[in-house]
Amino acid sequence: MGFHIMYAEHPTHMWFGIVLITSTFATICQLYWDYVEDWGLLNLKSNNKWLRDELILKNKNFYYISIVINFLLRLTWIYTLLNLKRLSDFNHHLIELLLALLEIIRRGIWHFYRMENEYLNNVGKFRPVKTVPIPY
């Protein structure tokens, strides 16, 4: 985030490169965390190619489509690098509104698969609890 601010204040090739490299690395880490840790997908040993063994949705295509949508929507930070000054203020704000709405959709999709993964892990390991013990 700090590099984005520096690039916005000083749009040089050096800051562009730094923002590009750090944002790409952050996006790769975020995608890994989304798919593997939060969603439990991309399991190479799974019976379902690139997914996990247990799936709630019967149609596997929903998982593959969601992987692609999440990937594409994680790349919306590229818009900030384009620095489109030729757009009018109205168009610029309209695009930012559209990107915000797409982020809400991405987080909704993420939340569904995160909750599905948590449910399958908790039920599979017989850990559902009604109350959480208080430590004191």
Backbone angles phi, psi at 30, to 5 degrees: -65, -40
Which residue blocks in 33-88 are alpha helix, DSSP H? 61-74, 78-82
Q: What is the pLDDT of residues 21-62, one digit of tens each?
A: 999 999 999 999 999 999 999 998 999 999 999 899 999 999
Residue 129 DSSP class? -
118: nearest Cα among 109, 106, 127: 127
| Whole-angstrom Cα Rg for the chain | 19
Percent helix, strand and coil across the chain, each to the nearest 5: 70, 0, 30
Q: Residue 8 pLDDT > 80, yes or no?
A: no
Helix and strand numbers, DSSP H then E, in the chain: 5, 0
Q: Residue 113 pLDDT > 90, yes or no?
A: yes
